[in-house]
Amino acid sequence: MTDKSYQPTIAGLRAFVAVAEKQHFGSAATTLGVSQSTLSQALSALEAGLGVQLIERSTRRVFLTAEGRELLPHAQAVIESVTAFTAAAAGTSDPLQGTIRLGLIPTVAPYVLPTVFAGLTDKLPGLTLRVIEDQTERLLTALREGSLDAALIALPAEAAGVTEIPIYDEDFVLALPPGHPLAGKRRVPPAELAQLPLLLLDEGHCLRDQALDFCRKAGVRAELANTRAASLATAVQCVSGGLGVTLIPQSAVPVEAARSRLGLAHFAAPCPGRRIGLVIRSSSGREGPYRRLAAMIGELVGADQQVRPAG
């Protein structure tokens, strides 16, 4: 009679399934990588605990009892579940073999995601990316709260409990209305911004803060345009329509210049720019895998865009 408090061991169930499937103790022991005596002990302990004979032993053959035939599918299901559980645990120990919830700021996402998606599919076939696009502060909040695993943002993040992994540096390019006198210039002095209506993104976008910071450091009091945009694509359309000028990151130039009539100019050195990197929770214990991911992203974006590895 079965003791209802008895809990079968995985070893006992594995022994039962192996013997039932192989119908030979020697072959079953070889499959499990154990000795025949260890196999027999595990099976006997299972039968004793259940109070049921599962295997009928003879000198020549191994038979499943009626009870064994009835219980075998249940034992197989348990072993399959344990195998799946172990595989899932192996995947969670390496985030690059599972699902990563990746945040990106709006001035990065549309310009690097096509390259990153295509490249990581080849480099990390076991990785699934879930993408969340949002402004920096909200991404950092989601990261700290655990609803994001990592975020691709402009550095420095200056956030407690966050580890920063620099990836690449890129220059800002001056976007101008078509036919503007500065279009095509390669060494535009920052002082020129004082004479131009500077169109900025809405508050909360780090690119807005970076543009204003550049003006401040250059000693330029920029004339701000009356128009503000919620996205870089909208800002570029406004520039194309003659409503002002704006700064766009180099990684955005190919996309925005292809779909808008723009004049482009480059600043004299030292050029304004930004550093993009990956941020993760310092407590995650997964800095190693995320540094590998950051290095892959850097290689992919660097090969496709005019950016420089972060020094």
What are the sequence ranges of the domains in the chain?
10-90, 95-168+274-309, 171-273
- CATH (residue range 10-90): 1.10.10.10
3-state helix, strand, coil in the chain (%, to 5): 50, 25, 30
- Read off the tokens for 188: 């535009």
Candidate from 11-25, 92-106, 176-190 with smallest mean pLDDT: 92-106
Task: Indicate the DSSP class of residue 93.
Answer: H
- pTM exceeds 0.85 for this model: no
Specify the higher pLDDT residue, 168 or 59.
168
Query: Given this chain, do its domains 10-90 and 171-273 carry the same CATH topology?
Result: no
pLDDT of residue 3: 63
User: Which CATH entry fits the domain spanning 95-168+274-309: 3.20.19.10, 3.30.1330.10, 3.40.190.10, 3.30.1490.20?
Assistant: 3.40.190.10
Mention the CATH class of domain 171-273. alpha beta
pLDDT in tens, 185-244: 999 998 888 888 888 888 888 988 888 888 888 777 766 777 778 899 999 999 999 888
What's the pLDDT band for 114 if we cut at 50, 70, 90? Answer: very high
What's the pLDDT band for 87 if we cut at 50, 70, 90? Answer: low
H/E stretch holding 275 reads strand 273-281
Distance CA 27, CA 24 (A): 5
- Over 60: is that where the pLDDT of 123 sits? yes
Alpha helices, H only, 59-106: 66-93
Phi, psi of 115 (to 5 degrees): -65, -45
pLDDT of residue 93: 65
